[in-house]
Amino acid sequence: ISTLFKASFFGIFVLFFIIFIDDYIHGVSSTSRILIFIYWGLFLTLVGSGRIFIRSFQRNLLIKGIGRKKTFIVGMSKKVVDVYNQLIEHPALGLDFAGFISIGFSEKNKSYDGVNSLGSIDDIAKLIDEYDVKEIILALEKSDDDTLINLISRCESKNVGIKIVPDLYSILSGQVKTSQIYGIPLIDIMPELMPEWEKKLKRIFDMIISFLILIITLPVTILTSIAIKLDSKGAIFFMQERCGLDGTIFKIIKFRSMKQDAEKLTGPVWSQKDDPRITGVGKIIRKVRIDEIPQMLNVLKGEMSIVGPRPERLYFVEMLTKQIPYYKRRLKVRPGITGWAQVKHKYDESIEDVKAKLRYDLFYIENMSIRMDIKILFRTIFVVVLGKGHYN
């Protein structure tokens, strides 16, 4: 109720504050402004009461078993037992316990409260279909990345949400966004990374911004094209196949900043600091990110977004997926021109850089929103103006 009241109060306050300012600018009488505050109080009461009524109605339906999600609990540890007890005691959580899943051989024959394990993580894909499960809760006594990666990879094709009971360090460091089940913190890994309405709004936002940038930067585009032709032999634009949403291959468009056929002898490699393949003009346009402007065409075509993880070549995606199993989760969203990793880390020069940036990409994917996109755009402007974020 406290959260609902705060959300209602803030939303309605912003709405009526805008109306109040508009009336003040246009010289509306003080009596009308007093009425606005009266309406604000009434509106707050009605909306808040309405939300509480709807939430109470939903709660009653869940208690009666309507709308609850079948849920697996992975593991048989002390943490898992705590989660199980809360699910049984609080049906209003909306999670209907379907069974335990064992992590390893040592847990195979374990049981709790007379309930045996249905199988192991190796069987989970089949069990999800068999029991029509929509949620999975994973609780580990200690950090176990291999188990988590194994679980996520086996559930990737299934429309299920994964909740993880995090370790204390993850909570205190603020590296994860948590919800809770009656005092038990949980990290949510949802199959739908963004609400449908926000996806559509993000796409509209992408189209408007990319179109405006293409128009505004037209003089820069013309001058850059001339400079590239005068500086070195080769095409003005550089086109290369990259992996997009769900692994779809598309051709990225950039201003050419390297010598023609730069990778003819070396094959696919990451660019380095003071890379001899970069042309004189290339150094300048890379420093101020002018080389990225043509990618606005990729955004208009729907192949990219303004904000998102940077698209990588298929060669590197296949290589990195073998070394970093959860790397493929980057392909769950449309790639971007700029992203959280780009404003927080330098260009990739090694596999260690990729691993470091992947943490930022995954954080963005799990927390993506229009609000975060705007935050990243402002940080991008800051990075471009100061010339940071390359090899520093």
Q: What is the pLDDT of residues 96-147, one digit of tens each?
A: 888 888 876 555 566 666 777 888 888 888 999 999 998 888 876 655 666 7
pLDDT tens digits in sequence order for the chain, 392 residues long? 455 555 555 655 666 566 666 655 666 555 555 665 666 666 667 666 777 777 787 778 777 878 888 988 887 777 777 778 888 888 887 888 888 888 765 555 666 667 778 888 888 889 999 999 988 888 766 556 667 777 777 777 787 888 877 654 444 334 455 555 555 556 566 666 677 888 999 999 999 999 999 999 999 999 999 999 998 888 999 999 999 998 899 999 999 988 877 666 666 666 666 677 888 888 888 888 899 999 999 999 999 999 999 999 888 888 888 877 678 778 889 999 999 888 887 665 667 777 778 888 888 887 888 889 999 998 888 877 766 555 44
C-alpha to C-alpha distance for 389 and 392, rounded to whole angstroms: 6
For residues 296 and 216, is the Cβ–Cβ distance under 8 A? no
Domain boundaries, the chain: 2-63, 69-189, 196-386
- Looking at domain 69-189, its CATH architecture is 3-Layer(aba) Sandwich (3.40)
Beta pairing class for 336-338 and 305-307: parallel
Neighbours of 215 (CB within 10 A): 9
Q: Is the pTM of this model over 0.75?
A: no
C-alpha to C-alpha distance for 166 and 143, rounded to whole angstroms: 8
C-alpha to C-alpha distance for 281 and 263, rounded to whole angstroms: 19
The structure tokens listed for 17 are: 């504050």
For residues 313 and 280, is the Cβ–Cβ distance under 8 A? no
SS3 of residue 11 by DSSP: helix
| Neighbouring-strand partners of residue 336 | 305
Would you state the torsion angle of the CA atoms of residues 85, 90, 91, 97, taken in this order, to the nearest 10 degrees?
-20
C-alpha to C-alpha distance for 337 and 301, rounded to whole angstroms: 14
Please give the DSSP secondary-structure letter assigned to residue 110. Answer: -
Query: Which residues are CB-neighbours of 302 under 8 A, at least 6 positions away?
Result: 203, 334
